[in-house]
Structure 1
């Protein structure tokens, strides 16, 4: 499929970061618009949803600024996915793609404004073998054809949304799909019983384990971790993240697909540089070996105190669940752990900081037990 019209749509965006125990900043993007006043226990209990059975002709809830026709088309996409036993991750990818291609609007031929013979929700082209004009303008048919192409992509559930959408669509703007992932997840959560937070099939949806990706595109960064120090506690009011304690050498996974933007050793003692290839202490300042990743929706994650030079380089594209480094004790640290923070809107200052625990719960990827 060649270049096609691009209809704008407003999408809520956010940024996440993981910062050192000695400070940093954090914030969380709540896909469903909830505040963070619920207890961690109650949020964990509602973190993973189930797809249920969606009737596109029934009464549908409002989602963000989308109109009735857009919500109906999204419901059709989900319904077809359910009929084909496509996991919820596929629904998010399909809806994000339709948001980019048509703003979830079943577009006819727009004459001079049309991009070649592109039609419908996914701007599929009769001349490229997608079907007849009449077929493509049927949202159910169009969704089915999208899913058929998507399911033929090897390991599609582990790939970034942008990669999957581009493999199906062959767009002239391959990076444009990613910005719609947060809104697409919100739509799936609203229409399909929080299925955007789940991993697995339609019968047995559950929360993610490290390396497994939820429908929202997130995964647990450290397997079997215990939260030993929380976000901005009374004892540590400037602690802008959560400490995920695990044995040295435990793999650290990218929490979502994205691009590595920072790989750095940050450590000093008495104002002098301090090696990150050795254990730190309470006297050492800094994050130690750490990584930052830029994700869809302008979200940034940061992973601190790694045991040695991380397993990635700046500019590298990573997939959700990919091993980016290993738990260590470098920098301002008194025991092996990964310090994990969350930031919004590219703001990695203290002003943008919020607790990563509720954020990850809402993605269906709880961080771990709290001491």
Structure 2
């Protein structure tokens, strides 16, 4: 099968954040012992990213989280802050909250307090807010002393979260907002990716799990199944053509097996950037017919911006996408149906992942390890 990335994509390259090799090696050593309106790009993507190696982690939720001893290191967060994250996760474990709740709780505390157990800040304080979650005694959350106990504060957060219908399928910012009632609800979104990495580092790969009944199962997020990380595979078909192979060095994504009319799901919550017919090499926009090799263009395609500055692309849809530019979508939401429009030799989904908000080929990365690290592998047949 043949594909072109969107032919009219802007050729802009944003500077990528550097990750120290020593940090990656340290996290690999420590971790592997464990079994609304449109929001702006900066509001989704300004969280500094870490990239701990988690490929060898024992994936699951049985790993006992400890808040003592050596803590994994993350840029911007010291030992005390990561210990507070560990307390949040441990409380979630003890309360038997699915791992998705741990990611939501950690991301919420990252936004509210930068994972610091804050006392009353006087004039700088938001009313009488205190603690990791900036909960207010006057709103009935507890006494100031109770709310400055990280375990108590986390427990109160989870108690409220569990009362929200279908909370596990909400966008992280929506779930957090229903608990916190913040004046800046979208701000929670930018912490999701790093919160998932912290949960993985402290809880043995738990962010890669899907809660199926009473059991947490690894690496099965697809369609209606959403990993604790907040990601899902766009469709269940395996890879039939890889990323920038020797035979196809300009193939900036992977082709996933799919018959015509297979539902395509948003791989994560975010905002639609593009949903249109990509012109072929001659400039024609005739996407309502099957394409052919050498035609050029993605056919009907969608680009979605996600927390952390990630962008996913979905090409060769059979007809006009079900979403529009500027629309907020939730992970797992159907955005279109697979087909063979554009530069294509047969029905399939061409799927790309880009970093740093860069829609050009310079921002493209291999989707296979990226999705596997988030518990939503695309390199398998389901």
Q: Provide the TM-score with structure 1 as the length reference.
A: 0.86
1:139 maps to which residue?
150
Deviation per residue, 1:215-238 (Å, 9 max, x gap): 110001012x13111111111110
The runs of at least 4 aligned residues of structure 1 exceeding 6 Å deviation read: 25-33
Cα deviation, residue 186, structure 1: 1.2
Q: Provide the TM-score with structure 2 as the length reference.
A: 0.84
Structure 2: stretches of 5+ with no match in the other structure: 26-53
Cα deviation, residue 211, structure 1: 2.0
Q: Does the CA-based 8 Å contact 2:57-2:204 persist in structure 1?
A: no
The within-5 A match list for 1:240-259 is 240-259=252-271
What secondary structure is seen at the aligned counterpart in 1 of 2:182? coil
What secondary structure is seen at the aligned counterpart in 2 of 1:321? coil
Structure 1 vs Structure 2 CA RMSD: 2.6
Whether 1:195 and 2:177 are equivalent positions in the alignment is no
Cα deviation, residue 369, structure 1: 2.9
Q: Does the CA-based 8 Å contact 1:253-1:322 persist in structure 2?
A: yes
Structure 1: stretches of 5+ with no match in the other structure: 1-19, 36-42
The within-5 A match list for 1:109-258 is 109-200=120-211, 203-207=215-219, 208-223=221-236, 225-258=237-270
TM-aligned CA distance change 1:29 to 1:304, over 3 Å: farther
Q: Identify which range, 339-348 or 56-65, moves more after superposition.
A: 56-65
Cα deviation, residue 58, structure 1: 4.4
1:319 maps to which residue?
330
Q: Does the CA-based 8 Å contact 1:47-1:197 persist in structure 2?
A: no
Q: Identify which range, 205-214 or 111-120, moves more after superposition.
A: 205-214
The within-5 A match list for 1:13-52 is 21-23=3-5, 48-52=59-63
The within-5 A match list for 1:274-289 is 274-289=285-300
Q: Identify which range, 43-52 or 252-261, moves more after superposition.
A: 43-52
TM-aligned CA distance change 1:59 to 1:46, over 3 Å: closer
C-alpha distance in structure 1 between counterparts of 2:57 and 2:289, whole Å: 40
C-alpha distance in structure 2 between counterparts of 1:67 and 1:318, whole Å: 34
1:341 maps to which residue?
352
C-alpha distance in structure 2 between counterparts of 1:367 and 1:176, whole Å: 29
Among 244, 262, 270, the residue aligned to 2:274: 262
Cα deviation, residue 204, structure 1: 3.2
